[in-house]
Amino acid sequence: MLTAEVLDSIGGLASHIKVYAAKLPSIVHLKAVPSGVKPSAEAIEQYETIVFRTRTRSVGTPYKTLNESFILSLEAFEIGNLIGAVHPLLAILDHLERMERDQEIEAGRLDDKRLKEYRAALRKVLPGNQPELEGTGGGMDKL
C-alpha cells in the first residue's frame, strides 16, 4: 500500500461526506440529525467498502495504525454524525504528515498537494467554519 492509495480512500470518503453534508440543513449540523436526513443505505455501503478495502490492504504496512480512525469515521457516518465522520479523517491526515516527517512513509509532491486539498475540503464541510473552529484540523504545520 502506498500513500497515494490511502489518499484515494480519504478522497472517496470525503466525497461521500460532502454529498451528505449538502443534504443537511445548516442549523442541524451541531446537535441532532433528523432521521430522514441520514446517509442513504447505498452511501453507507459504499463508505464501508472503501474503509474495509483500505483496512485489508494496510495489513503489514505502516498504514495499519490508521485503521481505528477509519472505523470511527465509518461508525459516525452510519448514524449521520457529520463531525464524528470528519474528525477521524482529519486525524488520519495529521498522522500521515507525521509519518512522512518521521520518514516512516514516502509521500511525493502530488501526495502532499492532495493531502492539503482533502484537509481543506473536510474543514469546509465542518459546520460553519466559525472563528471558534479556527486552527482545528490544521495538521502538523499548526504545531
pLDDT in tens, 72-85: 999 999 998 989 99
Helix (H, G, I), strand (E, B) or coil at 142: helix
pLDDT of residue 29 exceeding 90, the answer is no
pLDDT of residue 35 exceeding 70, the answer is no
Q: Which three cell numbers stand for residue 76?
A: 459516525
Q: What is residue 129's predicted lDDT score, i.e. its pLDDT?
A: 55
The whole-chain average pLDDT of the chain stands at 85
Alpha helices in 59-108 (DSSP H): 67-78, 82-101
Dihedrals phi, psi of 39, to nearest 5 degrees = -60, 150
Assess contact for 69 and 89: CB atoms under 8 A: yes
Mean pLDDT over residues 109-123, rounded? 93
Residue 108's pLDDT band (cuts 50, 70, 90): confident
Choose among 4, 126, 133, 143: nearest CA to 76. 126
